[in-house]
Structure 1
Amino acid sequence: MNQYLDYIVEQTQKILAIDSPSGYTKEVVDYVMKEYESLGYKPIKTVKGGILVSLGGNNQKDGVLLEAHMDTLGAMVAEIKENGRLRLTPVGGMEANNAEAENCRVMTRFDGIYEGTFQLNNASVHVNKDYRDKKREYSSMEVVLDEKVFNKEDTEKLGIRVGDFVCFDPRTKVTEKGFIKSRFLDDKLSVGILLGYAKYLKEEKIVPDRAVYQHITVYEEVGHGGAASVPDGVTEAISVDMGCVGEGLQCDEFKVSICAKDSRGPYNYDVVSSLVKAAEENKLDYSVDIYPFYGSDVDATLSAGYDIKHGLIGAGVYASHGYERTHKNGVNNTFLLLKGYLG
């Protein structure tokens, strides 16, 4: 294992502990900005709310941009119901059935934070004869607040409003066998990896052959995270996001995945080939995969009209958009692929 792995895992845990659904990311951005500064860099907060940082490099006319996102799935209050409970609308692709019985926090605009649990309406099995067959969707589920509320007026008095963000508990755990389990590894794990790569360059006093930038985006889960903030001279962008693990794919939690195609289309042939070459030359555990239902920051970058080459890599993550799992080996292989590919 590389000497930076512990730092990557530590930073990932700290970032996971900060709630940050798309649109509610200021606190996590402030933390990551300070971490870059502690490493000796000068990060810039974009108008959109993300982070752009230069890691240095010699060739300013052939730069490469590494993109990862720290916004996550979440929800928002859509209605305060007559019983005082909350109907939600999803932020990003969070499935209602996947969040059932999850603890959550309601972030009011002016009146603090309230805790609750996301439950099926009439969630008691001993009362609801349709419990087993009821479809889990946002219209049939609600947040039960951990407050003494019995009606809409009681909840409104707390300061809870329509439009308040609702954040779900990540339940992060790192096991003795090296597994990392948490909601929102997509894509806070990759932010930790990019911080580890930035630390590696600084501590080893390495100046890459090409200018290297990192863009930590904050709207990827709603489709436009990487649509702006590409520095002058950048000719290539690589999303560092989760590698898909599932039926029909070669990747597992111990590998770094190189994506050849996602639901938006193929990635740049030369970039994918060069990533595969770097993985083989460094004897990494990797796979090349096609992700059937997937879009990335760099897809948004190209859609915005930037004339660049693009690629996508990531540590293998199982149960995407659910209670996700990866392994330190997959994290290490992803870090080493960045190191082998960029220097």
Structure 2
Amino acid sequence: MTDVLHQLLTTPSPSGMTDAIVNLVCGMLDDLGIEYELTRRGAIRATLPGVSKAPDRAIVAHLDTLGAMVKNLKSNGRCEVVPIGHWSARFAEGARVTIHSELGQHHGTILPLKASGHTYNKEIDTQPSDWSNLEIRVDRRIHSKQDLIDHSINIGDTVVVHANPVFSDDGFVCSRHLDDKAGVAALLTAAKAIVDGKFKLPLECHILLTISEEVGVGASHVLHGDVAEMVSIDNGTIAPGQNTCEYGATISMQDMAGPFDWHLTRKLLTLAKAFQVEHSRDVFKFYRSDAAAALEAGNDIRTALVCFACDASHGWERTNLASLESVADLMVAYMRSPILFERDEMALGPKEDFPVAVVASETEDAYGED
């Protein structure tokens, strides 16, 4: 898992420029002997065979990351920049980047417009943190707009923000873009455990790796009608007021798109307890995942969200390998578990076998009697 995560982090993949990481992961799937298909743009649908092919289940994580784009060429030879995906300009300040143009690559740094304390004194601390106050200083002999043009730098060039991963002896991984490459590494590790263990799965399971989650598209385009259950893997936020498990898996009960499926989330909680996987529950207010995109695209499926711990999400992120191991363990247990409900084989069915969540009646009094 550590080796896979390092390879993923050092392969640039901002939304809109994911071909390199798609090819990397396809090679990993080839090495595991796992069959897969690609959509036109490169989303991956791999398949672990099961006893039953319909209905089947899916586990999804995304390969794309945040990034930036050249917005304009400035007269001082620097580049105006805008974000790819939603992240704060505060975390962009000081980032080392590579501009990918049609004819070459150019390294540089994202800097505030007022970057030198020797020149601007306290103004460097009072200028607002905003993308309009940032620019890219290119590491070339460039001092004018024409110099940028001569170096084939143009409006719309993709800007890769360097991950700079660091793996510590305590199991911590500090890097940009752990969202969601850490989730992908955990999922691929779980898939390898299934293959190496020669486990016979009760249901066919699709490993879905999407390429545009950070811009809101996510798993809307890689599913098919046989999928009845889908678990999304993404980051859980370490922050005051959150209950994310820093060294285990976190099962989200709701995000900004609404509650996850009652039955599927509680099945995951049951599996985590049964297999002694360290875990917690959490609710996220400013967050959505591949699951939301799948439902918004009209898929009538049960969804759940399992998270690895992520401190300072969408910035200088940190996780711990223990959390990734817990996510991988839980996914192995889930893939080996039976279908949630037999009736889910049908898109439409009778009322007689429709499941009922065990909840108290609204007329039940404090003593448990109607």
Counterpart of 1:336? 329
Q: What secondary structure does 1:89 align onto?
A: strand
Counterpart of 1:292? 285
Pairwise CA distance, 1:93: 1.0
Equivalent of 1:118 in 110, 116, 126: 110
* 2:268/2:334 contact within 8 Å kept: yes
Pairwise CA distance, 1:252: 3.4
Q: Deviations over 1:102-146 (max 9, x none)?
A: 11000002x111000000013111101311110121111100000
Q: How does 1:167-246 map to 2 (within 5 A)?
A: 167-246=160-239
TM-score by length of structure 1 reads 0.96
- Amino-acid identity (%): 31
Pairwise CA distance, 1:231: 3.0
Counterpart of 2:149? 156
Task: Find the aligned partners of 2:114 and 2:147 in 1 and give their Cα distance.
Answer: 20
Task: Find the aligned partners of 1:48 and 1:16 in 2 and give their Cα distance.
Answer: 21
Task: Find the aligned partners of 1:195 and 1:338 in 2 and give their Cα distance.
Answer: 10
Counterpart of 1:4? none
Paired residue type of 1:284: V
Counterpart of 1:321? 314
Task: Find the aligned partners of 1:89 and 1:315 in 2 and give their Cα distance.
Answer: 28
Equivalent of 1:274 in 264, 267, 273: 267
* 1:253/1:325 contact within 8 Å kept: no
Q: Deviations over 1:185-218 (max 9, x none)?
A: 0000111111111111111111211110011000
Pairwise CA distance, 1:169: 1.1
Q: Deviations over 1:215-255 (max 9, x none)?
A: 10000000012101213421011101112221111213212
Task: Find the aligned partners of 1:232 and 1:299 in 2 and give their Cα distance.
Answer: 17
Point out where structure 2 has 5 or more consecutive residues left out of the alignment.
337-370
List structure 1 segments (4+ residues) > 3 angstroms apart after TM superposition. none
Task: Find the aligned partners of 1:275 and 1:337 in 2 and give their Cα distance.
Answer: 8
Equivalent of 2:251 in 249, 253, 258: 258
* 1:58/1:210 contact within 8 Å kept: yes
Paired residue type of 1:219: S
Pairwise CA distance, 1:62: 2.3
* 1:252/1:318 contact within 8 Å kept: no
Task: Find the aligned partners of 1:55 and 1:190 in 2 and give their Cα distance.
Answer: 18
Q: What secondary structure does 1:189 align onto?
A: helix
Equivalent of 1:249 in 242, 246, 259: 242
Counterpart of 1:62? 55
Paired residue type of 2:109: T
Counterpart of 2:94? 101
Matched, 1:27 2:17: no
Equivalent of 2:70 in 77, 97, 120: 77
Q: What secondary structure does 1:242 align onto?
A: strand
* 2:51/2:203 contact within 8 Å kept: yes
* 2:164/2:176 contact within 8 Å kept: yes
Q: Deviations over 1:285-338 (max 9, x none)?
A: 101100110010011000000111000002111110011111111011111111
Pairwise CA distance, 1:60: 1.4
Paired residue type of 2:53: Q
Q: Report the aligned-residue RMSD.
A: 0.9
Equivalent of 1:136 in 129, 133, 143: 129
Task: Find the aligned partners of 2:278 and 2:198 in 1 and give their Cα distance.
Answer: 27
Q: What secondary structure does 2:187 align onto?
A: helix
Task: Find the aligned partners of 2:222 and 2:205 in 1 and give their Cα distance.
Answer: 14
Equivalent of 1:310 in 279, 294, 303: 303
Equivalent of 1:127 in 115, 119, 136: 119
* 2:253/2:282 contact within 8 Å kept: yes
Paired residue type of 2:243: Q
Question: Number of residues paired by the alignment?
Answer: 335
* 1:180/1:325 contact within 8 Å kept: yes
Counterpart of 1:5? none
* 1:252/1:317 contact within 8 Å kept: no
